[in-house]
Amino acid sequence: MILEPGNGGGGESGGGGLTEYIVHHLTHNVKQTALGPFHADSWLIALLLGLLASFLMWTQARKATAGVPGKMQAFVEIVIEFVDGQVRDAFHGDRKFIAPLALTIFVWVVFMNAMDLIPLDLPNALITAGAGQETAHHTFLRMVPTADVNTTFALSVSVFFLIIFYSIKAKGVGGFTKELFTAPFHANGLFAKIVLALPNFFLNMVELLSKPVSLGMRLFGNMYAGELIFMLIAGLFMSWVTFLPAIFINAGWGIFHILIILLQAFIFMVLTVVYLAMAQEHH
């Protein structure tokens, strides 16, 4: 979302126009480490949102009563029942770990996605008020962790390792390894098994690796596109002629984006549960 029209250059971009404005807002706060560049803004905001979500859920759990619940408790119970229902439909094994995992993913991703509804120039305005215009112009802060491919792939890689864990838990190391070389093309003779071992292994690896890639790229692509559209709408605020139409366009896209925020969190959660359920199936 956008705060206000610029002076022809767009927010803090000075006189650089919309291109500089977008480039500035798409630049991460990068810290150099021994392992390479590190996006400090995505990591910090994701961590704070995760702690905030955990704190809110914990406070409601502590205040939960068996009588008539308050509004916040009722809302939390609706979310928990909704997530548990989705897990129950997709995962038919022991849900003691899967249901809390799904709830954590859904709530955390919703919180991270919702940062896209914060006005684009609000962080810069706060930095300007505290440190001055020059400091603000050279300070980069991406507010949407899920619009960073590093964040979404970190989540999806974690799911990938859980898929491997549940596959080995259900089938054993030997059964999991055997399935990699004997499915989906089954053969009876020894020679046929040897011939089909490599194609089976290749197809199984493609299937395994495509799961984290699809999870990470789907969430990243939708949130990055939503963030970019907000920035493009900002160009309409740079002129008083297009300022009024921009208000309605920005409001409409913001309302529609709320659906995207919730939908993408739901899809990520459901696919995670489905992938873990598939990991326990024997071929």
Residue numbers annotated as active site: 214, 218, 222
For residue 244, give Cα distances in angstroms to 10, 21, 58, 158, 201.
Answer: 16, 20, 43, 45, 58
In the three-class reduction of DSSP (H, G, I as helix; E, B as strand; rest coil), residue 36 is classed as strand
In the three-class reduction of DSSP (H, G, I as helix; E, B as strand; rest coil), residue 176 is classed as helix
Query: Are the beta carbons of 133 and 12 closer than 8 angstroms?
Result: yes
**CB-based contacts of 264, cutoff 8 Å, min separation 6:** 109, 113, 146, 218, 219, 222, 223
d(CA 279, CA 283): 10
Tokens 């004997």 — which residue?
Answer: 182
Query: Are the beta carbons of 116 and 261 closer than 8 angstroms?
Result: yes
d(CA 76, CA 66): 14
CB atoms within 10 A of CB 165: 12
